[in-house]
Amino acid sequence: MLIALLPGDGIGPEVITEAQRVLDALRIDGLTFEEALVGGAACKATGHPLPADTLALAKRADAILFGAVGDPDCDALERHLRPEQAILGLRKELSLFANLRPATLFPELADASALRPEVATQIDMIIIRELNGDVYFGDKGMRKTPDGKREGYDIMSYNEDEVRRIARVGFETAMARGKKLCSVDKANVLETSQLWRDVVIETHTEYPEVSLSHMYVDNCAMQLVRNPGQFDVIVTGNLFGDILSDQASMCAGSIGMLPSASLDAAQKGLYEPIHGSAPDIAGQGKANPLATILSAAMMLRYSLGLPKHADRIEAAVAKALAAGARSPDLGGSHSTREMGDAVLAALT
């Protein structure tokens, strides 16, 4: 089993190092790693954020463990050469259409949530975001109106196949959890959302055991902070999912805690923390590596068929937190390495 390690920029290499130490400690037979440049690091070395060698490795590997991309030095580059294009390119090239973001609050971190502890402790959900369509991938551009004013446009669209395949991921995920799926759209205003809702309802007939509800995105944003305990699995489009999943992350404590998986139709995936390259703390040993360590656990569960090893990592993270391990984002002073050490100590 080959893992492509793509550390990227900023704190990416720091958090990937800790995740690799944890994976090494599990001594999984046949697990090998190959590392490649991506993002700003790749741009500086090769002139492109997603070099052909890196893409080839990602295609060849059984799974990809990704740090983060983004480098202020590259902000002036043309858009297609910016580090962030690497992650969009990987999603597109590998057909990673389903983004799974669990938001679970470790009880020890109730005080770190932006919500009151008694509300925060209810959080235990997965947000499933469609990743290959919607307004991010539609026709876009700048033009002039007839009276000479500048106008920007981005076309939002989904076809029924795209909606059906992500709806199935939502229903399957709900079947493996609490059998409750909430589909989030804006069907009162958008035709794209009306189609989304119609197709989700049609797909429901394949999963009669799942209780399906629908919610408008504005209401969902409000309900996530008012009563997050009502959600088990949320399925939504690319734009709404981008915003709601970041919101859920702050409800669940720190952005440094939450993992994610981006899967293709065969469950091959790219696993990454939900945070970015955090240039403000890069190189200072302040980054929380737990989101990346938990992403490695998701990789073992979803792409490598090793759920027991995934359970071991998640239990070790909980134990490390219970023992008092806290990086600065969690209100403590543990360094990135010390957080990794705490998880390793809890594993053994």
* Distance from C-alpha of 251 to C-alpha of 258, rounded to nearest angstrom: 11
Instruction: Decide whether 129 or 186 has the Cβ nearer to ligand NAD.
Output: 129
CA torsion, ordered 243, 304, 15, 75, to nearest 10 deg:
-50
Give the nearest distance from C-beta 271 to ligand NAD in angstroms: 11
Question: Is 319 an active-site residue?
Answer: no
Q: By CB under 6 A, is residue 278 in contact with ligand NAD?
A: yes
**Rounded Cα distance, 183 and 232, in Å:** 11
Strand order in the sheet with 269-273: 32-35, 2-8, 63-68, 269-273, 259-263, 98-104, 124-130, 233-236, 180-185, 211-216
207 as an active site residue: the answer is no
Q: Does 14 bind ligand NAD (CB under 6 A)?
A: no
Give the range of 54-62, 63-71, 115-123, 197-205 binding ligand NAD by CB under 6 A: 63-71
Q: Nearest CA to 261 among 315, 303, 314?
A: 303
Selected catalytic residue, list 186, 207, 271, 286: 186
277 touches ligand NAD (CB under 6 A): yes
Q: How far is the CB of 12 from ligand NAD (least distance, A)?
A: 7
SS3 318: helix
Binding residues among 286-305 for ligand NAD as defined by CB under 6 A: 287-288, 291
> With binding defined as CB under 6 A, does residue 241 bind ligand NAD?
no
Q: Which of 68, 120, 235, 321 binds ligand NAD (CB under 6 A)?
A: 68
To the nearest whole angstrom, how small is the minimum distance from the Cβ of residue 118 to ligand NAD? 25
Q: Which of 296, 262, 264 is nearest to 65 (CA)?
A: 296
Coil, strand or helix: which one is 131?
A: coil
Contacts to ligand NAD by CB under 6 A: 11, 15, 68-70, 84, 87, 255-256, 272, 275-281, 287-288, 291, 329
